[in-house]
Amino acid sequence: MSDNYITICTVKEVENPKELSEKILKWLQSNETIETELSYCIFSMSNKGYKPGNKHIDVIGSNENILRLKVCGVEIKTEREVFNAGAFTAMTKLECPNCITDRFEGITPQDFFTDNCTEEQLNRFDTVFPEFDKWTNNENASLICPHCLKESNLINYKTDNSIAFSNFGFTFWNWPDLKEEFLMELKAKIGTDIVRMNGHI
Ligand SMILES: [Zn+2]
């Protein structure tokens, strides 16, 4: 069985991810959106999350019974990572800050998904992942643009919000779509721009 997720994270790093997570957790727990105790309820078997609370239905607006699922919790992330990197493909926008050209320009979905890319095209794609790892590990991460040949910091590349370079986020495992008003409130509590990514594993 596959699991769906909604990941919400800040578009950029925040200064105090741990403090912020405590504040948001308290808010979610006082509204009974999530439980107060950690338990094994997320996709990862080695990490714990928070199960939906008694009033979680208030934020999803439907009474789909997610509590019947083993994986139904909320996972909190407060470390640097490329959010949603698992969904990264050559169809993801990664625009050079110097020449404003997409790194993957000219690669068609058909060629990419049927393994018909040229070696040069594949190289453009494969070279990104080591830089993702470097960034996650607080090392210098940069890419040389294949179009203008200029080297730029990874985080200066513009993306289409299907990935984010951040250090603060939540993943709601198998929750249906969250209400817009909840997302607005969440954004206000976090105090900075957030991005929502839907996906499945
Ligand atoms: Zn360029």
Please report the pLDDT score of residue 69 as a whole number: 94
Question: Is 35:29 a contact under the CB 8 Å cutoff?
Answer: yes
Q: Within a 13 Å sphere around the CA of 79, how many CA atoms are in the beta-carbon half?
A: 6
Measured in Å, residue 104 CA sits from the centre of ligand 1 at: 11
Measured in Å, residue 97 CA sits from the centre of ligand 1 at: 7
Please report the pLDDT score of residue 1 as a whole number: 66
Calpha distance 4→200 (Å, rounded): 4
Measured in Å, residue 151 CA sits from the centre of ligand 1 at: 8
Question: Is 143:135 a contact under the CB 8 Å cutoff?
Answer: no
Amino acid at the residue 169: G
Radius of gyration of the chain (CA): 19
Contacts of 22 (CB under 8 A, 6+ apart): none
Measured in Å, residue 127 CA sits from the centre of ligand 1 at: 15
Question: Is 194:188 a contact under the CB 8 Å cutoff?
Answer: no
Query: pLDDT truncated to tens, each residue of the chain (201 aa)?
Result: 689 999 999 999 999 999 999 999 999 999 999 999 999 999 988 899 999 999 999 999 887 899 999 999 999 999 999 999 999 999 999 999 999 999 999 999 999 999 999 999 999 999 999 999 999 999 999 999 999 999 999 999 999 989 999 999 999 999 999 999 999 999 999 999 999 999 998
In eight-state DSSP terms, residue 161 is S
At 181, list the tokens.
Answer: 């008003």
Please report the pLDDT score of residue 128 as a whole number: 98
Measured in Å, residue 132 CA sits from the centre of ligand 1 at: 18
> In the chain, what are the domain boundaries?
4-82+165-196, 85-159
Amino acid at the residue 77: K
Looking up tokens 């990104």, which residue turns up? 128
Measured in Å, residue 197 CA sits from the centre of ligand 1 at: 27
pTM of this structure: 0.91
Question: Is 90:30 a contact under the CB 8 Å cutoff?
Answer: no
Looking up tokens 């991005």, which residue turns up? 195
CA distances (Å), 186 to each of 13, 89, 111, 160, 193, in order?
A: 16, 29, 39, 21, 10
